[in-house]
Amino acid sequence: MSPLISLDYQSRTPIYEQIVNNIEKYVAVGILKEKEQIPSIREMASSLGVNPNTVKKAYDILENKKVIQTISTKGTFISDDTKHTTKIKIDREIEIIKDKIQELMKMGMSIDEIIERIRK
C-alpha cells in the first residue's frame, strides 16, 4: 500500500498530515476498502523512509477519526464504516471549491462565468 502514498518533502504540510490525507483519500475513493489491512507502523515508516514516530502520529490521528482501527496482535485495518470518512473528505473538498469560487467572484467573475469555464 505504501507505494500509493506520495510524500512531498518540499511541502509545508507536515509528513504525518500528508500520510493522513493520502489514506483518507484512498478510503474515500475506494482504493482502500473496509476491513483491509494496512502496513504496520514500522513497515510503513520503512517503505516511506520516515521516522516511525511520524507514522505513529498519522495512525493515531486516523484512529481518532475512526478511519483505521488497530487490533492487538492482528494488525491495523481500515475501519468497518468508511462511509463517514468518505462524507467528511467530500465535505472538506467541497469547502475548498466554495472558497475558490468566492475568490473568483471577488475578482469579478459571475457564478455563471465560473461554471461555464469549469465545463470547458
| Cα 61 to Cα 113: distance, rounded to the nearest angstrom | 40
CB 80 within 8 A of CB 37: no
What tens digit of pLDDT does each residue of 29-62 get?
Answer: 889 999 999 999 999 999 999 999 999 999 999 9
User: What CATH number corresponds to the domain at position 25?
Assistant: 1.10.10.10
Percent of the chain with pLDDT over 70: 98
Query: Quick one: pLDDT at residue 30?
Result: 87
The H or E element spanning position 106 is helix 83-106
Any residues with CB less than 8 A from the CB of 75 and at least 6 apart, and which? 37, 38, 40
Rounded mean pLDDT, 98-114: 94
Which of 16, 34, 10, 12 lies closest to 85, judged by CA?
34
Per the model's pLDDT, the better-predicted residue between 90 and 69 turns out to be: 69
Q: At 89, is the pLDDT very low, low, confident or very high (cuts 50, 70, 90)? A: confident
* Res. 2: pLDDT tops 60: no
Cα(91)–Cα(35) distance, integer angstroms: 23
4-26 pLDDT, tens per residue? 798 999 999 999 999 999 999 89
Instruction: Quote the pLDDT of residue 77.
Output: 96
Q: How many domains does the chain have?
A: 1
Domain that holds residue 18: 2-119
